Every structure is written in structure tokens, then in C-alpha cells.
């Protein structure tokens, strides 16, 4: 059994406001599709963020169709979940591609789906749509907030030893300090599966725990400076080292192996010197070895004031694109102490921030707030109000009616079913 594990394709992403960057992402996806076919994979998994936005342009959808057709004409099934960038409350671009027979959307849905490679299991008033290839079971769900995952994960229990869990989430043990990302899960939260096909982290990560792998293939193209292909530092001496590769994972018998593809060069450059003249000399020295079709993100540090426009004009003549910023060197700079969010916010406030950071709809935020304050009212009513009940007078009849009306309204607004809680909409 062999399959391709892809994630974070971000089709349509015009990075740096440059349309040609969107074509770079589409080109990377096509390259991966061709390599996967050459590897004779049995199926393909896309672990979220196929698109950069939930409403991709017609050109972006066309790019997706053309590449997915590479798999379709070889009868290679594709299974996908929506990521935080491209999920939608209603019908998404994923469902359009599903209707064209180009991929299978797995996860919790309002209506059952059945086909050659899909099965539906009813859970309360929703359906868990699963993938199936031979004796391999493929489960997963779209990107969820941390508080939603508390109810979703217990539903994603594999029935087979040969199972794959597909999620677009960050796992604490895999997200190291270097990535500077918040996490939604820990390994202990995960149901037991044969392989964990994850997306969301753009840097390739393969984590082995007890012989099982949690794997992130990373984004297919260079999404930000942390994913540079070359890291250059020039202070007293020139130091140049390789960055990270871009590509996807080929998974054979649940053991992943990274396959690198060619992408546009991205240079992460930091230069420092006392004088502008010396800084400019270093800049030319670094620039001469760069690919003219590459992208450079540079930070210049100097005690003198630097005219960034001059450096930008030089870079524009030698590279496809460059961003340059200047930082003045001052003595005795004050060190700033960083603190964790948990030191400032309650658990409820952290959940709310988690929702607001993502592309969550207003109803989802509203449900969280209502559920929180209803639980607070119940707790207060059960523990504290009883202590002073004897001191209170019976409310007037009219006032009592108003209180009862408000309680009924609150109960109506409270999520009543799993469907309401998850915000699963009609497809």
C-alpha cells in the first residue's frame, strides 16, 4: 500500500501581491501530481488548504481541476479535508470538485455520501463520511477550533487497524518553539490510528511515537521567510546555509518519506556593518551568487542611516523580487520579556481568541459565548444564589414573566444538537 500525502497547496496565493507567485504554487502542485503518478500511488490525501481562500477565483479553480485530472485519468482516488484558509460554512470549492468526480471530501457532513471509495456512518444527526481503499480506512475532518475538537475527536475512531487520520491542525509535540505557532492538540488527544496525515504546519515534520507517525509534508511552495531555501548572515564573516526543502510525502506501509520538488529560490538575508559603504560592499558580494529568478527578503543593520531605496534598486536589477528593510543599531537596547497568552487570559478568553484568529463565522463565536454564560449562570444558580435565596423577596408577577421569557430565549439560542454545535450546513 502506497499513497501520496500532500498539504497546504494554497492555490491562488498571490504572495507579495505578485500574480506570478500564484502560478508558482500551481506549478508546484502539478509537479507533485506528476511525481505521485510516477510513484504508482494507490491514492492521494490532501490534508487541508488546497486553496488559499474559501472563495477561489475561476482561474484558481481551473488550476485545481487541471491538476486533479492528472490523478483522475489514472483512476487514483483523492481524499481531502478543508483547512483554515479555505473552509466554508456552506458549499465550498471542495464540494464543486467532488461533484466533478475529482476528489472525495471526508469528515462530518449533514448528508450521507456513498461511492466507490466513500462510506457514511450516522452519528446523532450528522454523518461521518470516510474514505476506503481496499482494507484501508481513511477518517478525518475539516479544520476545527480547539473547543470544537473536544467533541469531534471522540467521533473519529477507526474501525480498522489499517487506518489513516486526516486533520488540518497543529499538534503540540510536533510544533517546536522555532515555528512560533499555537497548537490545538496534544498526542494524548488523538484517537489511535495507523498513520496521521496532517496539514497546517508549513515546514516538513515527521514525528515517530511508539512506531506510529504524525507527519506534515509542509506547504508545496515557500509561504513565508521561515521557509527560505537559503539563509545568509553576514556580520563579521559570511555564513550561508541551506534552508528547507519543499515537496510532499510518499507513504509506504504507513512509513513516510519526504520527496523534494524544485521551487523558486527564497533568500533570507541579514547584513550588518558599522558603515553604509561596508554594508553596500557586503550586499553586492551576497547578491552576485543569487539566482536572478529568486526572491530575497533582507534586513540591513547599520549604525549609520541607510537609504533603502538605493539597495532596492540594485536588488530589482538582479532578482525577480526583493523586500528590504533597515534597522538602526543602537547601544544598550532594552531586552523585552515575552509572556505566554495563558498568563493574561482565562480558558474561555483563549477559546474566543482562537475562534477570532481563524476565519470563523459570527454564529460560531456567538454559540461559544452563549454556552459559556449559560454555564456560568447555572453554576452561580446552583452554588451561590441558594445562600441568599431566603433573603430575597418573591418577584412581582410581571417581573417573573419577563425572567421566564428571557430564560426560554436563552435556551432556544443554545446549541441543541451536534449539528448545531459543529455548524454543519446544508451542502
**Which has the closest alpha carbon to 99: 113, 86, 120, 109?**
113
Rounded Cα distance, 71 and 33, in Å: 7
Which residue positions form the known binding site for Mn(2+)? Answer: 8, 10, 49, 84, 168, 200, 202
Which pLDDT does position 36 carry in this prediction? Answer: 97
Does residue 333 belong to any structural domain of this protein? no
Q: In this structure, are 252 and 356 located in the same domain?
A: no
What phi and psi, each to the nearest 5 degrees, are found at residue 362?
-65, -35
List active site positions. Answer: 85
Q: In this structure, are 249 and 374 located in the same domain?
A: no
Q: In this structure, are 204 and 287 located in the same domain?
A: no
Q: In this structure, are 309 and 368 located in the same domain?
A: no
Q: In this structure, are 318 and 384 located in the same domain?
A: no
Q: Which of 261, 287, 311 is the last residue of a domain?
A: 261
Q: How many CB atoms lie within 10 A of CB 406?
A: 10
Q: In this structure, are 209 and 72 located in the same domain?
A: yes
Does residue 24 belong to any structural domain of this protein? yes
CATH number of the domain that 184 lies in? Answer: 3.60.21.10
Q: Give average pLDDT by consecutive 10-residue segment, the chain, 427 residues.
A: 96 96 98 97 96 94 97 97 84 92 94 90 91 94 87 88 93 70 82 94 92 95 95 93 96 96 96 91 94 96 88 94 90 60 67 61 65 62 47 56 61 54 53
Q: In this structure, are 195 and 320 located in the same domain?
A: no
**Which has the closest alpha carbon to 47: 83, 76, 10, 87?**
83
Which pLDDT does position 159 carry in this prediction? Answer: 85
**Which has the closest alpha carbon to 134: 256, 2, 242?**
2
Which residue positions form the known binding site? Answer: 8, 10, 49, 84, 168, 200, 202
Which pLDDT does position 390 carry in this prediction? Answer: 44
Q: In this structure, are 85 and 186 located in the same domain?
A: yes
For residue 75, the SS3 value is coil
Does residue 336 belong to any structural domain of this protein? no
Rounded Cα distance, 47 and 79, in Å: 8
For residue 318, the SS3 value is helix
**Which has the closest alpha carbon to 230: 259, 282, 183, 270?**
270
Q: In this structure, are 353 and 308 located in the same domain?
A: no
What phi and psi, each to the nearest 5 degrees, are found at residue 31?
-60, -40
Which pLDDT does position 397 carry in this prediction? Answer: 63
Q: In this structure, are 286 and 371 located in the same domain?
A: no
Does residue 27 belong to any structural domain of this protein? yes
Which pLDDT does position 388 carry in this prediction? Answer: 40
Tell me the residue range of the domain where 391 lies: 344-422
Q: In this structure, are 134 and 170 located in the same domain?
A: yes
How many helices (H) and strands (E) would you count in the chain? Answer: 11, 19
Does residue 108 belong to any structural domain of this protein? yes
Q: In this structure, are 370 and 318 located in the same domain?
A: no
Q: Considering its fold, how many domains does the chain have in total?
A: 3
Q: At what angle do helices 308-318 and 276-287 cross, to 10 degrees?
A: 10
Amino acid at each position: 500500500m502506497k499513497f501520496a500525502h500532500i498539504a497546504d497547496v494554497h492555490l491562488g496565493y498571490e504572495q507579495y501581491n505578485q500574480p506570478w507567485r500564484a502560478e508558482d504554487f500551481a506549478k508546484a502542485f502539478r509537479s507533485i501530481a506528476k511525481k505521485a503518478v510516477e510513484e504508482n500511488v494507490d491514492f492521494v490525501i490532501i490534508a487541508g488548504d488546497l486553496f488559499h481562500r474559501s472563495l477561489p477565483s475561476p482561474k484558481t479553480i481551473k488550476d485545481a481541476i487541471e491538476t486533479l485530472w492528472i490523478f483522475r485519468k489514472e483512476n487514483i482516488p483523492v481524499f481531502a479535508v478543508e483547512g483554515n484558509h479555505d473552509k466554508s460554512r456552506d458549499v465550498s470549492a471542495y464540494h464543486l470538485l467532488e461533484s466533478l468526480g475529482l476528489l472525495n471530501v471526508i469528515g462530518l457532513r449533514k448528508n450521507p455520501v456513498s461511492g466507490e471509495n466513500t462510506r457514511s456512518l450516522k452519528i446523532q444527526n450528522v454523518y461521518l463520511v470516510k474514505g476506503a481503499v481496499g482494507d484501508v480506512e481513511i477518517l478525518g475532518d475539516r479544520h476545527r477550533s480547539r473547543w470544537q475538537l473536544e467533541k469531534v475527536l471522540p467521533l473519529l475512531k477507526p474501525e480498522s487497524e489499517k487506518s489513516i487520520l486526516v486533520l488540518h491542525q497543529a499538534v503540540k509535540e510536533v510544533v517546536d518553539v522555532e515555528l512560533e505557532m499555537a497548537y490545538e492538540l496534544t498526542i494524548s488527544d488523538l484517537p489511535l490510528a495507523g498513520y496521521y496525515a496532517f496539514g497546517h504546519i508549513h515546514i516538513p515534520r515527521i514525528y515517530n511515537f511508539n512506531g506510529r507517525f504524525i507527519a506534515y509534508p509542509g506547504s508545496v511552495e515557500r509561504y513565508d521567510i521561515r521557509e527560505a531555501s537559503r539563509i545568509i548572515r553576514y556580520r563579521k564573516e559570511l555564513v550561508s546555509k541551506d534552508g528547507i526543502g519543499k515537496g510532499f510525502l510518499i507513504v509506504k506501509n504507513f512509513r513516510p518519506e519526504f520527496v523534494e520538488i524544485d521551487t523558486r529560490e527564497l533568500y533570507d538575508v541579514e547584513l550588518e556593518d558599522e558603515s553604509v559603504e561596508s554594508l553596500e560592499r557586503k550586499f553586492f558580494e551576497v547578491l552576485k551568487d543569487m539566482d536572478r529568478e529568486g526572491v530575497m527578503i533582507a534586513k540591513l543593520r547599520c549604525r549609520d542611516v541607510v537609504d533603502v531605496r538605493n539597495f532596492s534598486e540594485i536588488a530589482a536589477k538582479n532578482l525577480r523580487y526583493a523586500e528590504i528593510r533597515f534597522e538602526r543599531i543602537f547601544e544598550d537596547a532594552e531586552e523585552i520579556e515575552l509572556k505566554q497568552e495563558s498568563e493574561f487570559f482565562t480558558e474561555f478568553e483563549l477559546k474566543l481568541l482562537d475562534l477570532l484568529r481563524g476565519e470563523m463565522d459570527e454564529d460560531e463565536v456567538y454559540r461559544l459565548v452563549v454556552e459559556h454564560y449559560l454555564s456560568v449562570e447555572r453554576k452561580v444558580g446552583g452554588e451561590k444564589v441558594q445562600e441568599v435565596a431566603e433573603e430575597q423577596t418573591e418577584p412581582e408577577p410581571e417581573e417573573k414573566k419577563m425572567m421566564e421569557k428571557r430564560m426560554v430565549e436563552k435556551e432556544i439560542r443554545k446549541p441543541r444538537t451536534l449539528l448545531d454545535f459543529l455548524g454543519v450546513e446544508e451542502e
